[in-house]
Amino acid sequence: MSSMCNAMCGASDRTHVAAGAGRWRAASHVALCWAALLPMAPTAALAHDTWLEQRPGRAGQVELALSTGALFPAAQTGIAAASLVDRGCLAAPGRRLPLRAGAALASALTLHTAPRRGETITACWVQTEAFDVEVPAALVPTYLREIAAPDSIRQAWAEQQGQGLPWRERYTKHARISWAAPAAAGPATHSPHSAQSPRSSPPPTAPAMALDIEIEDARAPRAGETLRFRVLRDGQALAGQAVELRGEMSRFGLWRRTDAEGRASVPVPFAGRWVLRATDLRALPGQPGHWQSRFVTHAFSAAPAVPAAPEAADDGPIGSHLAAAGGSAGSAQPSNPSMPKARSANQSKATPTISTEPPVTTARR
């Protein structure tokens, strides 16, 4: 449906246009198209989050893909390199590396960097320029549910509707990926970029984006462990921000809200790829009906859980065979895990809420 709307409406992956009245004319044109296609929306899931993931690369290089999709990790569209206003990588012990654009694929923009021999890459990030869009009124409630917007914003939207004002929004995207060695217990698993031993101290801090999620643990989590993180806006702690943990192995997400210091924690149910995702949305002062949003994701991987040590009675050959058979965390994962405080199911009927490249959302229940 994304390509269909692009063809029918003349939309591209960049809705940002020159300042002035023409800015909203372009956005309104796309919004009208989506309104016309709304009856078809329940059968389609369209782009929302933007994230970074690692891909196999040439020797001596780290290759990433920057993708947008309705449900992580399924990539649907890429982002033009020209729309990135900041990008880079950080190598221990704190050296910044350039992150260069490569091929622009249908579902991703490839990026790469080249660390020095023996150098460990700890994080990479990108930030886009601002995009403008007008969201059809019928889609705003779905959008607000998707990002777990607070009641104050829902009330402001109700008042805005009473004044007959459309929803006009300027948004930016921020994506980060980080690597860390898992906890020392069990077989060691290292960063894919270095043969160095696991870190025993927190990794170097990468430059903060306009909206950022920092993982505060020095090591990558293992399945079943708790992940601690902090949300920053313009380098300052962002209190009361809703953050969702989404993984590649489940249709459910786990929501948490940050405390007064911008911190929160969440259990990581199983091994694999994950993203923390959040959207900071607020009204633009002195501009009724206009909103500003910042979207952020932080991608990381969780290592398999450490197999439990056999009981004393099982120290013989039978116990050893059982421990060996259960050593693979992947084989022990339930097919339908039950997760605490799961509030979202992005495989439910989807509705587009913002026109082209992010953010288009899926219904939350």
Six-digit token pair at 306?
């450490």
Give the separation between CA 196 and CA 118, rounded to whole angstroms: 7
What local confidence, expressed as pLDDT, does residue 204 receive? 59
What rounded mean pLDDT belongs to the chain?
76
- What whole-number percentage of the chain has pLDDT above 90? 57
- Residue with more model confidence, 17 or 299: 299
What local confidence, expressed as pLDDT, does residue 71 receive? 85
Six-digit token pair at 249?
């192995």
What local confidence, expressed as pLDDT, does residue 185 receive? 53
Give the separation between CA 82 and CA 165, rounded to whole angstroms: 32
Model confidence band, residue 108 (pLDDT cutoffs 50, 70, 90): very high
Average pLDDT over residues 32-61: 63
Residue 34 has pLDDT above 70, yes or no: no
What local confidence, expressed as pLDDT, does residue 57 receive? 86
Read off the pLDDT of residues 172-189 as tens digits, 9 standing for 90 and up.
Answer: 999 999 998 765 554 433
Read off the pLDDT of residues 224-266 as tens digits, 9 standing for 90 and up.
Answer: 999 999 999 999 999 999 999 999 998 889 999 999 999 999 9
pTM over 0.85: no
Residue 141 has pLDDT above 50, yes or no: yes
Between strands 100-104 and 109-113, the pairing is antiparallel
What local confidence, expressed as pLDDT, does residue 286 receive? 93
Task: State whether residue 275 is helix, strand or coil.
Answer: strand
Which residue from 234, 27, 61 is spatially nearest to 135, judged by alpha carbons?
A: 27
Give the separation between CA 146 and CA 251, rounded to whole angstroms: 14
Six-digit token pair at 21?
């009245």
Question: Tokens 């991987």 sit at which residue?
Answer: 301
CB-based burial label for 21 (10 Å; 0-12, 13-18, 19+): exposed
Read off the pLDDT of residues 147-164 as tens digits, 9 standing for 90 and up.
Answer: 999 999 999 999 999 999
What local confidence, expressed as pLDDT, does residue 192 receive? 41
Give the separation between CA 52 and CA 49, rounded to whole angstroms: 10
User: What is the DSSP code string of 167-211?
Assistant: EEEEEEEEEEEE--PBPSSSS----TT--PPPPSSPPPPPPP-SE
- Residue with more model confidence, 180 or 276: 276
